[in-house]
């Protein structure tokens, strides 16, 4: 099969589109014929992209953890009343396994959800990692509740756009931050106000946020600690927080596959309760360009479309 592979941790310039072995279905796996795949910034130099859970090298590695496609094979131990050959599925692939920048991928069946009618593969591939990260950050780790004041850093990005909508739908008051160019999109997604981080106005929010969800890290994350209201929570995904708030807690987490949450997210997408930001779509053969553009700061989600 055709796949984009990395010989070792590195940058998009090292990514090669080449012939790779057809994947083997382990116990509980299904083989998915990939129609579309998506990736997240940083995947190419994460250690888990290149090793298994025991730390054994499995390079050359195939990136792109988001998949949408059709089930073509059921491995031993998969429940045939659960997933069937021909099902349209979406999912986030475990980070210690090969990803979906390939014509076929082996995925744990329990990590996949059905793609609802009316949702195409490009939309479906844009959802899993961004949606699950937004959900787990807000609901599982952040304790999101109606009436809270929620600050979302990087609100115009892939995770941020979905986080703004989920928080607004839950009845929170949402403030988004990011670059000036994202202001209107973040307000359209449901934020009640937007702060351009280049203007440095965060201090005005000191001690007033029930929940801060940070996608940026660095100085933005460090400055967020003092924004937490008593009993509030700071959740970060780009880097661990450098300290704990005086009266509250700060959590860093790594997103996990979860079928129930993904099914709920897919249904929200299908009913129009959430929408995805516009994605830039490339064929699989242009994977190196897609990864390089993201690496070079081109904004937005990138999707690889393997089949029209
Ligand atoms: N821990 C986890 O499980 C997990 C899961 C998913 C993602 N992540 C990580 O979380 C981060 C966000 O992911 P994503 O997919 O949402 O990425 P994304 O689509 O690139 O969104 C990040 C957003 O933050 C903005 N931003 C970054 N630095 C900024 C700064 N200094 N000032 C103002 N705005 C800034 C970006 O703008 P520009 O595009 O202009 O820079 C973009 O709008 C990435 O580092 C990703 O690797 C972690």
Domain harbouring 247, CATH code = 3.40.50.720
> Please, are residues 50 and 59 in contact by the beta-carbon 8 Å criterion?
yes
Same domain, 233 and 293: no
- The pLDDT of residue 211 is 98
- The pLDDT of residue 80 is 72
156-179 residues labelled b (16+ CB within 10 A) or e (exposed)? bbbbbbbbbbbbbebebbbbbbbe
Beta strands 29-38; 66-74: pairing state:
antiparallel
Q: For residue 105, what are the contacts with CB-CB under 8 A and spacing of at least 6?
A: 23, 31, 32, 34, 62, 67, 69, 93, 98, 99
The reply to whether 262 falls in a domain is: no
140 CB near ligand 1 (under 6 Å): no
Tokens 């190196």: give the residue: 288
Same domain, 110 and 139: no
Same domain, 70 and 172: no
The reply to whether 270 falls in a domain is: no
CATH of the domain at 72: 3.90.180.10
> Please, are residues 62 and 20 in contact by the beta-carbon 8 Å criterion?
yes
Same domain, 199 and 293: no
Peptide bond before 218: cis, by omega within 30 degrees of 0? no
**Which neighbouring-strand residues pair with 282?**
304
Token pair recorded at residue 184: 């209107």
Q: What are the pLDDT digits (tens) for 198-247?
A: 997 798 999 999 999 999 999 999 999 999 999 999 999 999 999 999 99
In this structure, the residue with its CA closest to atom 26 of ligand 1 is 154
Distance of CA 208 to the CA centre of its chain: 28
Pocket test for ligand 1, best of 216, 291, 297 (most atoms within 8 A of CB): 216
40 CB near ligand 1 (under 6 Å): yes
128 CB near ligand 1 (under 6 Å): no
Distance CA 37, CA 126 (A): 8
Same domain, 185 and 230: yes
**Which ligand 1 atom is nearest residue 255's CA?**
3
> Mean pLDDT in each 10-residue stretch from start to end of the chain (308 residues)?
97 97 96 97 93 96 98 90 93 97 97 97 98 98 98 97 98 97 97 94 92 97 97 97 96 97 98 95 98 94 92
Domain endpoint, select from 252, 267, 297? 252
The reply to whether 293 falls in a domain is: yes
Across the chain, mean pLDDT equals 96
The reply to whether 263 falls in a domain is: no
Please name which of 275, 233, 232 lies closest in space to residue 253, comparing C-alpha atoms.
233
29-46 residues labelled b (16+ CB within 10 A) or e (exposed)? bbbbebbbbbbbeebbeb
Q: For residue 304, what are the contacts with CB-CB under 8 A and spacing of at least 6?
A: 4, 36, 37, 38, 39, 64, 100, 101, 125, 281, 282, 283, 284, 286, 287, 290
Please name which of 101, 2, 109, 102 lies closest in space to residue 44, comparing C-alpha atoms.
101
In this structure, the residue with its CA closest to atom 31 of ligand 1 is 216
Same domain, 111 and 210: no
**Which neighbouring-strand residues pair with 51?**
57
Same domain, 45 and 85: yes
Å from CA of 157 to ligand 1 middle: 6
> Please, are residues 243 and 265 in contact by the beta-carbon 8 Å criterion?
no
Å from CA of 216 to ligand 1 middle: 5
Same domain, 140 and 202: yes
Give the chain's domain count. Answer: 2
The reply to whether 196 falls in a domain is: yes
Same domain, 70 and 168: no
The reply to whether 265 falls in a domain is: no
The reply to whether 267 falls in a domain is: no
200 CB near ligand 1 (under 6 Å): no
Same domain, 246 and 292: no
Same domain, 82 and 162: no
Beta strands 228-236; 88-92: pairing state:
unpaired
In which domain, by residue range, is 57 found? 2-127+276-305
Same domain, 93 and 141: no
Please name which of 112, 24, 117 lies closest in space to residue 69, comparing C-alpha atoms.
112
In this structure, the residue with its CA closest to atom 34 of ligand 1 is 178
The reply to whether 221 falls in a domain is: yes
- The pLDDT of residue 190 is 97
């Amino acid at each position: 099969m055709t796949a984009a592979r990395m010989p070792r941790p590195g940058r998009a310039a090292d990514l090669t589109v080449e012939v790779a072995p057809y994947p083997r279905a382990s116990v509980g796996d299904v083989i998915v014929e990939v129609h579309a795949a998506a990736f997240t910034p940083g995947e190419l130099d994460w250690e888990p992209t290149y090793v298994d859970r025991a730390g054994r090298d499995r390079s050359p590695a195939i990136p792109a953890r988001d998949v949408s496609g059709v089930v073509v094979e059921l491995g031993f131990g998969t429940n045939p009343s659960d997933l069937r050959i021909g099902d349209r599925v979406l999912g986030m692939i475990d980070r210690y396994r090969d990803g979906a920048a390939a014509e076929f991928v082996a995925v744990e069946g329990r990590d996949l959800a059905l793609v609802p009618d009316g949702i195409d593969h490009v939309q479906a591939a844009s959802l899993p990692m961004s949606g699950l990260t937004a959900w787990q950050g807000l609901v599982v780790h952040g304790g999101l509740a109606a009436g809270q004041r929620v600050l979302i850093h990087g609100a115009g990005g892939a995770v941020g756009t979905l986080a703004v909508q989920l928080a607004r739908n839950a009845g929170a008051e949402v403030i988004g931050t990011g670059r000036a160019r994202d202001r209107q999109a973040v307000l359209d997604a449901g934020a009640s106000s937007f702060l351009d981080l280049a203007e440095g106005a965060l201090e005005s929010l000191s001690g007033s946020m029930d929940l801060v969800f940070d996608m940026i890290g660095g100085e933005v994350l460090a400055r967020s600690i003092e924004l937490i209201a008593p009993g509030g929570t700071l959740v970060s995904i780009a880097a661990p927080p450098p300290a704990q708030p005086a009266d509250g807690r700060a959590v860093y987490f790594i997103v996990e596959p979860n079928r129930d949450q993904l099914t709920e997210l897919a249904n929200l997408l299908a009913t129009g309760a959430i929408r995805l930001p516009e994605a830039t779509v490339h064929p699989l053969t242009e994977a190196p360009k897609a990864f390089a553009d993201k690496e070079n700061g081109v904004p937005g989600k990138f999707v690889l479309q393997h089949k029209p």
